[in-house]
Chains A and B, each alone.
Chain A
Amino acid sequence: MLKRSWRKSEKGRKMQKTEYEKKEQDSLSNSFNNNVQNLRDIYKNCSDVVFRPFFIAGKGKAILVYIEGLANTEEIDDNVLSPLMQESTEYDDIKTLLKKRIAVSNVKELATFSDCVDQISIGNPVILIDGRATGFSLDLSKWEQRSVEEPSAEQVIRGPREGFIETLQVNSSMLRRKIRSPEFKMQAMEVGRYTKTKVIIAYMDGIVNKTLLEEVNNRLKRIDIDGVLESGIIEEFIEDNPYSPFPQLLTTERPDVAAANLLEGRVVIMVDGTPFVMIAPTTLYSFFQSNEDYYSRFLIASLIRWLRYFLVVMSLLLPSLYVAVLTFHQEMLPTTLIISVAASREQVPFPALVEALIMEITFEALREAGLRLPKQVGSAVSIVGALVIGESAVQAGIISAPMVIVVSFTGIASFTIPRYSAAIAIRMLRFPMIFLAGTLGLLGIMLGIITIIVHLCTLRSFGVPYLSPMAPMNASGMKDVLIRAPWWSLRTRPHFTGGYNRYRQPPDQKPGPKKGKEK
């Protein structure tokens, strides 16, 4: 049904083509006036498109077309218009003229209107010349962009402080600056019928698995959509399991994270207009690893990693464990503790399940409000939250104090997850777990955990099992999951590169006083 109606509307749309669609595939003709008229028709009612007619060397008719604000007008004046318009210029063949006079590094010859439009739309001015069936685009685009800043979502203490920005060229150059080898490849493609967003697939030739690369390419090519405004839109089209709560692509704002993943044989997908790049394939553990783990010394990094795993489990389970223990397994708590908890719950009219749900929803509301509000108002929200909900609700006897502690600890624990997308998944799963705990106690929690783990076992990210290297087990991979082994012993790349180019570095690089004397 849906498909049919889509086809119908598609047909209806086709009947009244836009001016651009009519002329898109036409090639430029020899008639200058015709070409200019066609281009003017295409850009009808586009007030930002500038048509600047001029004479080359005072003789040949020509026109320069560009978009205001996207083209660098100063450079156009200095390097294009003034040398061409000089009366003294010898005008014989435009190609030699371009070679002799135009000081622009990148010049392309264009044959069709769609080529012209593509070039104009990315900001390159296009010159059409009388008597020629081709146009020329000059690489003189320039537009406003945000400067490179430290990404606010991924803060580190030790590590580079630069982050990706919205401009693709800047992003790819940041990666190139990190990996200088020509084996670092970047394939470009366009996605989005109207937005024509440039997407780059970056990988390391010789490390990446060829079938993975092909799979990424195929999945991206399959996308047919009107516009891509953020990498999230592409993410939803290329995921393995769209119904899973868990993210199957890692997103990052940091060039160093992207570079590290490239060196591990993963593919990085960069989308123009977003500071987030996507990394495929991913495993669950990479969401709980921060890039700083790899920069700080390995003992500390391993300990922090364990702390983080513990907090991940807590942020998923703590409220439900509290509910289960209070409802079904009071005997598990030491006597003094259960007495004080019972005393504080005396005034509370709700069962533990309802209490937990009220508090969790309030907390989520506070968090969401704090995120969306302007920064100045944001502090007001936290004051209201802390005072009204923390203090007054307990004093009024609506909520017990231990529940406030549990919920706030859960909140803190969930903030320690380095990747926001994974933190959201766990936030979401917390609620069904609370329900299970309220109905079946610890058994319910265990059934919930089993379901989640079975789901994770079925999940794949671009063909790679989501729980690897834990299940299926891979001993060398565990070195980077259970602990963060020291760099000199992290010899192998993750397993999914297909065993090919397995080793990062030769063995026996463990430092020691003797090693220094050898040389």
Chain B
Amino acid sequence: MIEKSRISSFQMAIMMYPTILATAILLVPSITGKFAERDMWLSPILASSIGFLNVFLAVQLNKLYPKMTLIEYSEKIIGLIPGKILGFAYLFFYLQTNGIVFREYGEFVVGNFLSKTPMIVVIGSMALVCAFSVRGGAEVIARSAQIFVPLVVILLLFIFILLVPDLEPKNMFPIMDKGIMPSFMGSVVPASWFSEYTLIAFLLPFLHDRGKGLKWGFISVFTVMITMVVTNMSALFLFGSITDSFTYPVMSAARYIDVADFLQHLESIVMAIWVAGTFVKISVFYYALVLGTAQWLNMSDYRTLVLPLGFLLVIFSLWTAPNLIEMVHYLTTTWVFNALTMQVAIPILLLILGKIRRKRGTKVGSTRND
């Protein structure tokens, strides 16, 4: 097998946590707020159903083809040529998505902190660091996630606790004033974030305790949902109906912190630790892309692909959109359909076809990988 190291399902869960959340806590509260307004805290709960569905799909597909990733079993399920085409579509999708993640990161850092630093330096330095971890393989990304995720969680808790004096819980009432529709509309964009759980299709084959994959996948989705609910709630309690006028509500909330005139202006520290979460997110996407490409090309080692694909990712991040406004627009419109098609609809189809194939007893896939 192309990846020799093994990870545990707990490690997979901990890797996926920042993979969804790192960028979700930046732009998503504001986008959700635009649609759901007072009910924005409900939207992540609805959206998480997509996450649960995705974990379920990936685990079921993995049960059919235990040692294969998405790229490999799509060839088995729909045949070599269509499978290669679908594989390419997936790789391109991840190339573009990761480009977007890079761009979100770059826009955030340049827009808020290093306004005079060229975007390419900010993105390029991150790409180098991520390339270093992707070269180490899934194991190394998982271990670094184990170090950084507790830091990110502590950071979020820290922000919320210090914000408590400024919170106004009344802002959430009346609940579901206009019915379920606004919160449902608001859940569409977070749902496209949750659909990124399809990435576990690239990690499941390397679990050494695959039986616990489903359980830990669900726990991971659940914790992400809780975190998003808490984030949206605190943004709502703090800003009320004007939440959607901030681009980065959580960051703006961190600026409000002022304890004893000493703990103030903490946004730089918040940014620094948030970067660690983004690092995990980019690394996981980057890893899926590199591993998938190597499998798509039937290569025996993926390490040679790391730097060329990293270069391509940096270029894609700059091509993605001319500016932040257009990117946010893209993320709330086209990308939702793109993401949900690639990450929800196609896996459902693959699962159905795979089940049919298995029932018919055509042993194309099953003989070779048991």
Contact = CB atoms under 8 A, between A and B. Distances in A.
B132 A442 contact: no
A447 interface: yes
B140 A454 contact: yes
A467 B143 CA distance: 8
Interface in A363-414: none
A471 B272 contact: no
Majority SS at the chain B contact face = helix
A471 B146 contact: yes
Contacts of B113: 328-329, 441-443
Nearest to A336: B261
Nearest to A436: B125
Given A443-B113, A446-B275, A450-B129, A329 B143 contact: no
B268 A440 contact: no
Contacts of B133: 450, 454, 457
Nearest to B260: A334
A1 interface: no
Nearest to B132: A454
A481 to B, nearest CB: 13
Q: How large is the interface on A (under 10, 10 to 19, 20 to 34, 35 or more residues)?
A: 20 to 34
A300 interface: no
A444 B132 CA distance: 16
A441 B275 CA distance: 13
Given A454-B144, A458-B140, A328 B11 contact: no
Contacts of B248: none
Contact of B146 (A443, A446, A447, A473): A473
Interface in A314-332: 328-329, 331-332
Contacts of B8: 472
A442 B265 CA distance: 14
A208 interface: no
Interface string A442-486: 111111011101110110000001010011110000000000000
B306 to A, nearest CB: 13
B7 to A, nearest CB: 8
B173 interface: no
Interface in B108-155: 109, 113-114, 117, 121-122, 125-126, 129, 132-133, 136, 139-140, 142-144, 146-148
Interface string B265-287: 11011011101100100000000
A443 B275 contact: yes
Contact of B117 (A440, A442, A450, A471): A440
A451 B276 CA distance: 10
A471 B261 CA distance: 37
A443 B272 contact: yes
Given A332-B268, A443-B122, A458-B136, A471 B275 contact: no
Contacts of A473: 10-11, 146
Contacts of B109: 443
Interface in A468-514: 470-473
A336 to B, nearest CB: 9
A458 B142 CA distance: 11
B331 to A, nearest CB: 23
Interface in A411-450: 440-447, 449-450
17 contacts: A328-B114, A331-B265, A440-B121, A443-B109, A446-B273, A446-B275, A450-B133, A450-B279, A451-B132, A453-B144, A453-B148, A465-B143, A467-B143, A471-B147, A472-B8, A472-B142, A472-B143
Interface of A: 328-329, 331-332, 334, 440-447, 449-451, 453-455, 457-458, 465, 467, 470-473
